[in-house]
Structure 1
Amino acid sequence: MARHALTGQSPPRLTETIVFAETVHRALAELSNGSPVFTSCDRSHKPLQGHGHAHILCQSNRGQGQDGQGEITHITVYAPVGFRFPEQWALHRLKEIYDEKESGVQLALLGLGRPEDFGGTDQEKNECLLLAKSRSWISRTPFLPTRHPKVTRAGVPNRDARGLQIGSPEHDLGRLLRLAGFPDPADVEPVPCTSSGGRDVPWHAFIRRREKGQGKPAVDGAGYGFRIRFAEPVQGPVAVGYGGHFGMGGFEADEIDNIAGIPHDRYG
């Protein structure tokens, strides 16, 4: 993975994560001369299977307090398959991002490594809650389901052995976590919003659709948030659902007992 800090006068806000991540994606594809790790397609333009290609995750450090306006302060480019020299060279060259209005954002590479090298709670050291290891995780960007709730012919919700409606957001979250290699959560609790720029930000305030690309969210396109707890600590990042490679469905460590040494709930 690679971690960059954003600099400049007008960085995008966390609510614009999916748009900014798409812009970063296009820049890395160009800088790497079309590396499949960044394009998510092979050389014949066939989409890659699995989730080994790059995820672009956005973080807002200042947005946790009253000072900022919820701006994106860092990006993390994470690929389970790793980065070879061409991808590493592109990540080193990723220094400016321009949107359609030619408004520029500068980036500074903080380092390359593994998630555990950057996970933690000390923002002064540029540590990242998205990359921590924890039993408990809470939504930072909206989870966008890809399936729809199922009902019987009589219109009754079709439920699984645990009583969850099949295809509901909570059920789809569990399915996608398993596909990503995570264990089943021991507990899942809905949360209505995140905190950014010193205020509560509901999930509908986020841009939730990609401008281009394949795949689509469930019909209503609504966003959801959850606190999920695992029986044992899991290593971040945790990002699933529609747009998961573009910053959506991102969770950050909530109870970080395995990092600080003392159980601590940041939202409790």
Structure 2
Amino acid sequence: MLRLAIRFLSGSYHATPWGRHVNEGDIEWPPSPWRLCRAFLATGFARLGWATVPPEGRTLIERLAASPPVYHLPPASTGHTRHYMPLYKNVTAKVLDAFAFVGRGEDAVLGITWDVEPTAAERALFEALAARLSYLGRAESWVAAEVTEALPEHLSPCRASECAPGPGYERVALLAPLSAAEYAAFRRERVGGGGAAEQEGPARRGAKAPKKSAASKEAAKLEALYPADLLAALLKSSGDLQRDGWSQPPGSRWLSYWREGDALAKVSTRPTPAARRRAPRQDTALLALSSDTARREVLPRSEDALLCMEVLHAALVRKSDRGDGFGPSPCLTGKDAHHTPLTGHRHAWLLPASLGSEAHFDHVLVHTAMELDERARAALSSVRKIYRKDLCTLVTLVEIGLREDFEQAVPYVRAAKVWTSVLPFVPPRHLKRQGASSLEGQVQAELASRGLPPAERIEVELEGGNYGAASDFWDFWQRRHPGEIRLAGPEAAHEEGSQLPGAQLATRWRHFRSARVLKPEQRPPVAASLGLRLTFAAPVRGPIALGYASHFGLGAMVPAP
């Protein structure tokens, strides 16, 4: 018995079945026996320095070909990327790269077993080939393989059979090699039988027999068309097969394998070992946004973040409502089953993140102060597209876990003493000069309602990138139109943080959407879009989003650079 354990270093497996185009988005899962045998041969030539296949290599491949393997599948789900491949003369073609996402955890292992008894030399060669196997399928499917004595118990078996092993299974056709004896018989039938038929055919029709030289040429062509043996058939390149007109590789056959019906619809929610040690809860998810066009304008602009988050939120709420009378997930709506609003801002914040582009945002961080329930997790993994007017944006779930798991990639969840706005702060109440409704009062109240400590210093952004103290905000606000603005009091010009004459509130925030579109009745009480800088006495961990429509991204802040 030979057992092989394969781990996918990038967490994904990329391969297209024989006879299918890559843009069909089909995935060969599990990898076909034909692909495995060719991968071993390629590894021998590329990594072991073969000039020809050694005798133990020939017998090993023949043993593997004669015994269809049994697969042991880990939980997996499907995904894809779309990109434009350069061809020639600045011509590009759109390529759909579909893949099976397996993950990179300890148990994310594809197991393969062959019921064979190899010799000592064959086993040693098999272990050497497995150790040097670097990818399987397309080149981005990086793997690490090893021969093992045992496989994880949670894996799902997938066997070749003429009928399903039971209900809930689906058939998948995999290309497999014939045995060496079967291929030899197949070749004799096609080459020897084909030549005799051609010699007998003209006699039956009363025609003259072909010349001996012509018959020899035809026989030579026919022999060249069929590889000499099974190994020669496995070594044929795809280009050679297509040039010779083969619709299926010679020496191959289709086998019916049976996998569970949801084999490619399982999103693994197993946390990393570090996450398991910290806590069993999940409160944060990261979604990736992508475009299916050559230009990137389909990705939402930062100025349109509010509208996009409204549309995404509505899609998540719809997906979480299963029509069973329990309604959508409270994690997403902020209301319980009796439609009573939850307190303490515990439901989901949808925060757009620009991890790859400054003008557009390409990810969305979803964070709740409560644990994400099963309905919310299912909704996050099932939303695939959102539409804004006639523009479609593709949505892919990257990961679900704790907010600390995303600290390296997403600035929103880091800890810092100084935080600055990336989306405008819109006051949740009418502004007053002093008291609880002043700018300082509203910001401190927003922090307290989220369980955050009070800010030691609150500053408002001015034109040119400078900041002024929030205590001077009212003078800027009363005379916020372009023109000369002076601070109140003769001593103000000497205070730390006071601005020179002519300073005014930053105008760049006016270009951002600041009013909800899907619920126009919930408009902001005041038309003010401000940039803030908050300084705390000690580092505070995010995310921090304050003010009107903060659960849809407005008022989002990141640590100051």
- The TM-score normalised by the length of structure 2 is 0.38
Quick one: distance in 2 between partners of 1:207 and 1:188? 23
Structural mapping, 1:61-76, within 5 Å: 61-64=355-358, 70-76=359-365
Q: What is aligned with 1:93?
A: 382
Deviation at 1:194, TM superposition (A): 11
Q: What is aligned with 2:532?
A: 226
Quick one: distance in 2 between partners of 1:194 and 1:110? 37
1:38-95 CA distance string (max 9 Å, x none): 122333334333311111110123444xxxxx11111011111121222111111122
1:9-34 CA distance string (max 9 Å, x none): 41111111110000011110011112
Q: What is aligned with 1:145?
A: 427
Structural mapping, 1:183-222, within 5 Å: 183-192=453-462, 202-213=508-519, 215-219=522-526, 221-222=527-528
Q: What is aligned with 2:404?
A: 116
8 Å contact from structure 2 (residues 516, 522) kept in 1: no
Q: What is aligned with 1:174?
A: 444
Aligned partner of 1:53 among 347, 351, 354: 347
**Residues 16, 36 of structure 1: CA spacing in aligned structure 2 closer, same or farther, 3 A cutoff?**
same
1:157-213 CA distance string (max 9 Å, x none): 445xxxxxx412232111111111111111112124799xxxx98111100001234
Identity percentage over the alignment? 31
Q: What is aligned with 2:158?
A: none
Compare CA radii of gyration and give the structure with the larger one. 2
Q: What is aligned with 1:259?
A: none
Structure with more contact order per residue of length (Cα contacts < 8 Å, sep ≥ 6): 1
8 Å contact from structure 2 (residues 331, 373) kept in 1: no
Quick one: distance in 2 between partners of 1:134 and 1:49? 26
8 Å contact from structure 2 (residues 329, 373) kept in 1: no
Structure 2's unaligned 5+ residue stretches are: 1-283, 322-327, 466-505
Deviation at 1:37, TM superposition (A): 1.6
- The TM-score normalised by the length of structure 1 is 0.78
1:249 aligns with 2:249: no
**Residues 251, 57 of structure 1: CA spacing in aligned structure 2 closer, same or farther, 3 A cutoff?**
same
8 Å contact from structure 1 (residues 143, 240) kept in 2: yes
Q: What is aligned with 2:411?
A: 129
SS in structure 2 of the partner of residue 82 of structure 1: coil
CA RMSD in angstroms comes to 2.2
Quick one: distance in 2 between partners of 1:217 and 1:28? 24
Quick one: distance in 2 between partners of 1:116 and 1:193? 35
**Residues 45, 107 of structure 1: CA spacing in aligned structure 2 closer, same or farther, 3 A cutoff?**
same
1:123-176 CA distance string (max 9 Å, x none): xxxx111111111100000011112233xxxxxx445xxxxxx41223211111
**Residues 173, 158 of structure 1: CA spacing in aligned structure 2 closer, same or farther, 3 A cutoff?**
closer
SS in structure 2 of the partner of residue 18 of structure 1: helix
**Residues 25, 7 of structure 1: CA spacing in aligned structure 2 closer, same or farther, 3 A cutoff?**
same
